[in-house]
Amino acid sequence: NDNMNDQEITYLTEAMVNSGSKISWDLPLVLDKHCVGGLPGNRTTPIVVSILAASGLTVPKTSSRAITSPAGTADTMEALTNVSLSLDEMKKVVCEHGGCLAWGGSVRLSPADDLLIKVERVLDIDSEGQLIASVLSKKIAAGATHVLIDMPVGPTAKVRSQAAADKLAASFREVAKSLGLTIDIIFSDGRQPVGYGIGPALEARDIMAVLQNNANAPADLRERSITVAGAMLEMATDLPKGEGINQAKQLIDSGQAWEKFRHICEAQGGMREPPIAPYRFELIAHQHGWLSSVDNRRLSQVAKLAGAPADLAAGVEIHVKLGEEVHPNTPLITIHAESAGELNYAVEYLEAYPETVQICADKEQLNERVTD
């Protein structure tokens, strides 16, 4: 429950670390990051790892598969390359390229956490103390010395208010300090999904578009990745405040981050093209207006009913962002599915909850809603 104090969370974290294998890199500086979650499509990790590894830092990234979301980083990476690496394979990739993007489950870090997650999933609980212990035990077991926590805040994200975010951040800092871990926390906008895709293959396409500097790459995903990587560069080096973002941007713009990402994928077993779903449904706008709200949870549910993450090509593609103008007969979102049955489930759910994506006809009203 949420009645654990920081000392109790620290003890729980230590016990969880000691329940499994630990990786030692014999390096003074090993970076890792974690996003608290609740925000679909927020797939910054592969981009951040590529930027940091391209700058010469060590980022041995192990990620989870989806717990309750339409895709975890490991699911998304699986649309592009092999993620089930043994500890030796993982170490080899990291030694050669400075980073990896592997599934944590195949390395058995903090197995007690995996057990607790199974229980939480069945009971549908997600306590704060358990969240902190879960995240930090995995990072310590993976050999990290410096960790950045990205905390999206929004009415339908996991952390609903700034007050709740401040409280969670204070506990994270206290427990990390007790465990000798250097930590930095950034708060980000959690009001709508990030990127255009929700679901493994669609998110993989967004990642590639950003790394390849495509003109139509999702600007929000690029910006968030640069912000996170910039904060981590400043944490790991003596760069002055604000200089990290410039360096991160330069590593993407120059193509060095894309080249690093390609090398990591090749080393993990080769790079493949993300699959494309054969079945689709477009939700069409019937009125002129502006996009005023998006329900992250319901949109995630639509993507899951369409078959994500088990069906890599399934999910939801978003065509409009908050505050953008919408014209009649243009698509708001497209549902992708690998079977007609699953497409029908997703469409029925979306039709049952029309408030999932809301349009406001009055621009004055819109500004009030979007800035709430």
Catalytic positions, please? 126
Other beta carbons within 10 Å of 21 = 12
* CB burial of residue 352 (10 Å; 0-12, 13-18, 19+): exposed
- Would you list the DSSP string of 297-362? HHHHHHHHHTTTTTSTT-EEEE---TT-EE-TTSEEEEEEESSHHHHHHHHHHHHH-GGGEEEES-
Rounded Cα distance, 348 and 330, in Å: 20
Rounded Cα distance, 2 and 15, in Å: 18
Beta-bridge partners for 96? none
Rounded Cα distance, 161 and 153, in Å: 6
Rounded Cα distance, 34 and 140, in Å: 12
Which amino acid, one-letter code, is at 255?
G
End-to-end CA, the chain: 30
Chain centroid, CA 113 distance in Å: 19
Rounded Cα distance, 304 and 299, in Å: 9
Q: Which positions ≥6 away from 89 have C-beta within 8 Å?
A: 268
Rounded Cα distance, 175 and 153, in Å: 21
